[in-house]
Structure 1
Amino acid sequence: MNGVRCLLLSLVWVLFSAQGAFAAQGEILARPYGTVPGMSLGYWEYLPPDYDDNATVSHPLVIFLHGTGDVGNGSAAALEKIMALNAPPRLIRNGRDFPFILIAPQRFNAFIPVADIDKIIEFAKVHYRVDASRVYLTGISAGAIQVWAYAAVHYAKLAAIVPIAGNGNSQNLCPAAASGLPVWAFHGSADGTVSPYGSINPVKALNTTCSPAVNPAALLTLYPGVGHDSWGRTYDGSAGHDVYTWMLGYSL
């Protein structure tokens, strides 16, 4: 009798676990600090709607890095600060689906070190079915500054980057140019927080200073008269740009 009861309990647990996994796909879920072994930060997790349909299929990965106004300790309450942004996590919560895995970590300081970004990407490769040839990095403000910093060192791991309102002036991007890393930078021309030249100069360097120049040519979109928040209109597509299709068009 005890053996039958244990078997029933095991079946219930398996069913519960399967339902939990199924419920996760197509939703944005908070993974608070300390709840996921191997991950040192709290983060938002999104799995595409077809994630559980085939256990052998791998998926693109997008890492989104927040700015200084969205810092926190990674608790469930703190992670909600990221939802204030008109960015992929909130777009998903509001009903938008994407064909990629999204990880949006939160840190007490938005300037996440390059080594820590690399750990996040490697964590994702181990814990999710990630297509390692289709890893993309995007971020805003301080997060975009770190996108540039990571790309300067680990360009060989990235299929494309989209830094928004960032500053890549201090980075040597010529090795990334030689690798052919696709880049699309965005900035507001009236940004008083991070100078537009933080995007203008690195894109120019990739296209004209570096030898060889990057191929495909790095792209730059400047929004006339727009201040620091140049990301909302970029991520939601209201400015007429589809950065998601663009990113997913590239692979290693």
Structure 2
Amino acid sequence: MRFISTFFLSGLLATGSATADSETARAEPQLKRISYNSTADNKARDFYLYLPREYETDSERSWPVIVFLHGNGERGNGKDELDYVLIHGPVYEAWIQKNDLPFIIISPQLHMFDMDKRGISYIDNRTRSQIPQRLEDGTPPRDPYFATPQAMTGMPEHKDMSNVPPMLPEGWDKVETDLLNIISTVQTNYRTDKNRLYLTGMSYGGFGAWWLASKHPELFAAIAPVVGWGHPSYIAPIAKHQIPIWQFAGGRDQTVPAQYFYPALNRLEQLGHPNVRFTIHEDMGHDAWRRVYRSEDFYRWLLDQSR
């Protein structure tokens, strides 16, 4: 994936300027830690902010923004544990794998909220050795996909969602004010295109993306939840604002089965929503996010959407 050839180089060719070519050669992406005070616990925390190649040299450009909400295993204190959010998602692709994504990317960290006291193995047993490092030359090898021994079988829709909780416990809804403040801070202090604010998240973050879009549908140009379904109770505001949606699931996902994704998506269409996509990676399990976030089609689709 080399977005620079498609999105950046076309602009350089239009100028035909040797000076512009020289400046672009020096342009490098940046990964910043931005401090804030959390309203959830009144403690200082940081979030990651990725600035794309050419952000500093192209001072006239306003950039589209991706807000990424990570999964349950990447929680932390927003300080020395913040690096866990680099393990997956768009910042991993842009910063670690050095794919030239033409976005500003916001990557906050969800508080632990005592999840480390519940005997969750992938939280209790995680180590800093799992955090990928950006190499001076080249890129690190990608981790293999999770083993998925289950057979590929289509699943019928789960019909009755009335007894299914709309949100996972201790989720992104507990930091709503933080998320809004972070988005506002970035839009105020950096050159962003407010009509191209995109929201995505994986697993816990996928649930969080549905929830945040339903609460603040006027903010987002598109949402792309990955292996996290939306609840039908969230749908009316999203349908009213007709936010373009691309939902992803894993066909072999035993953690968040595909049958739970259909009720909300079907409800959107019943309410007249014209722009609903649903992709099931039938051969993959819960880690379908690995394929989604490395896909060039994913980022092209986002760029096609504007509020």
Q: TM-score, normalised by structure 1?
A: 0.78
Written as runs of structure 1 = structure 2, the 5 A alignment for 1:111-130 is: 111-113=171-173, 114-130=176-192
Deviation at 1:236, TM superposition (A): 0.7
Which of the residues 13, 27, 31 maps onto 1:28? Answer: 31
Q: Root-mean-square deviation (CA), in Å?
A: 2.2
Task: Give the corresponding residue for 1:139.
Answer: 201
The answer to whether residue 64 in structure 2 is matched with residue 60 in structure 1 is yes
Task: Give the corresponding residue for 2:118.
Answer: none
Deviation at 1:53, TM superposition (A): 2.1
SS of the aligned residue for 1:54 comes to coil
Aligned partner letter, 2:76 = G
Task: Give the corresponding residue for 1:91.
Answer: 93
CA distance in 2, matches of 1:179, 1:49: 32
The answer to whether residue 212 in structure 2 is matched with residue 150 in structure 1 is yes
The answer to whether residue 294 in structure 2 is matched with residue 236 in structure 1 is yes
CA distance in 2, matches of 1:142, 1:170: 17
SS of the aligned residue for 1:133 comes to strand
Task: Give the corresponding residue for 1:5.
Answer: none
The answer to whether residue 107 in structure 2 is matched with residue 48 in structure 1 is no
CA distance in 2, matches of 1:184, 1:91: 19
SS of the aligned residue for 2:306 comes to coil
Which of the residues 105, 108, 111 maps onto 1:102? Answer: 105
SS of the aligned residue for 2:199 comes to strand
1:114-163 Cα shifts (integer Å, max 9, x gaps): 33322221121112111111100000011111100011121111000100
| Cα distance change on mapping 1:40 and 1:160 into 2, 3 Å | farther
Q: Is the 8 A contact 1:148 1:171 kept in 2?
A: no
1:14-65 Cα shifts (integer Å, max 9, x gaps): xxxxxxxxx995133444667xxxx964222111111112334211110110
Aligned partner letter, 1:123 = T
Aligned partner letter, 1:144 = G
Task: Give the corresponding residue for 1:13.
Answer: none
| Cα distance change on mapping 1:57 and 1:177 into 2, 3 Å | same
The answer to whether residue 280 in structure 2 is matched with residue 222 in structure 1 is yes
Gaps of 5+ in 1: 1-22
CA distance in 2, matches of 1:176, 1:166: 16
CA distance in 2, matches of 1:56, 1:138: 27
Q: Is the 8 A contact 2:210 2:230 kept in 1?
A: yes
| Cα distance change on mapping 1:27 and 1:155 into 2, 3 Å | same
SS of the aligned residue for 2:223 comes to strand
| Cα distance change on mapping 1:154 and 1:32 into 2, 3 Å | closer
SS of the aligned residue for 2:216 comes to helix
CA distance in 2, matches of 1:247, 1:40: 32
Q: Is the 8 A contact 2:27 2:57 kept in 1?
A: no
Q: Is the 8 A contact 2:254 2:286 kept in 1?
A: yes
Aligned partner letter, 1:224 = E
Count of equivalent residues:
217
Q: Is the 8 A contact 2:35 2:44 kept in 1?
A: no
Q: TM-score, normalised by structure 2?
A: 0.65
CA distance in 2, matches of 1:198, 1:73: 31
1:144-191 Cα shifts (integer Å, max 9, x gaps): 111000111211110001000112115331221122210000011221
Task: Give the corresponding residue for 2:15.
Answer: none
What percent of counterpart residues are identical?
Answer: 32
CA distance in 2, matches of 1:44, 1:148: 22
Task: Give the corresponding residue for 2:267.
Answer: 205
Gaps of 5+ in 2: 1-25, 38-42, 113-169
